[in-house]
Amino acid sequence: MIAMPEILTIAVSKGRILKESLPLLARMDIVPLEDPETSRKLVLETNRPEIRLIVVRATDVPVYVEYGAADAGIAGKDVLLEYDGDGLYEPVDLGIACCRLMLAGARDRPDTTGRARVATKYVKTTRNYFAELGRQVEIIKLYGSMELAPILRLADLIVDLVDTGGTLKANGLVPLDKIADISSRLVVNKASMKMKQALLKPFVNNLARLVNP
């Protein structure tokens, strides 16, 4: 499905990625007509009649883009690593919302020797990480506040995003290993890239030049 040939629809993860994307878009002279932080609208027109933004949950960005409901999107690499799909190009590392995906454990019992229980929302990435190490673990899927799991002994280890390390420290946890560097990426629908080239290519190229001058 390629929606509206004359309009570019850009899906942006709400929250911190949206916050950090707006200044980048503004530097490309793309400014929403309403404040996305306060507007209840989910489709935001911009000062450019041919470009509109949709603001969605982080994990939904690649879904909108893969199916062509959005032509491009901005999503964290953490989300893209978890996503099983193949209708996406990932042409630009935007260098925003940077952090690390880390293995962490309790300060007083940082790791176990046996079959550890690992709590995470990043099940696929965690499974691949331990498979490469040849280590058997039990993975427990959580949807947030992973740092709580070792405190309550739900899990021995967690895999979660770390930036300043403040959340780990505040919860008696220590970082054990870095699994991946994370930043936000521009993702583009493969069919849109062909069928909306005249609109999409300048958008991708301008963004690439902006972040890699």
Residues in touch with ligand PRP (CB under 6 A)? 144-145, 160-167
DSSP 87-135: SEEEEEE---S-EEEEEEEETTB---SSSEEEEES-HHHHHHHHHHHT-
Site membership for ligand ATP, residue 100 (CB under 6 A): no
Site membership for ligand ATP, residue 163 (CB under 6 A): yes
Site membership for ligand ATP, residue 58 (CB under 6 A): yes
CB-based contacts of 170: which residues, under 8 Å, 6+ apart?
147
Site membership for ligand ATP, residue 179 (CB under 6 A): no
CA distance 193 to 116: 44
Site membership for ligand ATP, residue 48 (CB under 6 A): no
Considering the complex, state which of residue 51 and residue 106 has its C-beta at the smaller distance from ligand PRP: 106
CB-based contacts of 19: which residues, under 8 Å, 6+ apart?
37
Q: How far is the CB of 121 from ligand PRP (least distance, A)?
A: 8
The mark string for 190-209 relative to ligand ATP (x by CB under 6 A, - otherwise) is --------------------
Q: How far is the CB of 87 from ligand ATP (least distance, A)?
A: 20
Query: CA 57, 62, 65 angle in degrees (round to 5)?
Result: 110
Q: Which residues form the interface with ligand ATP (CB under 6 A)? A: 13, 15-17, 57-58, 76, 78-79, 97-99, 161, 163, 182
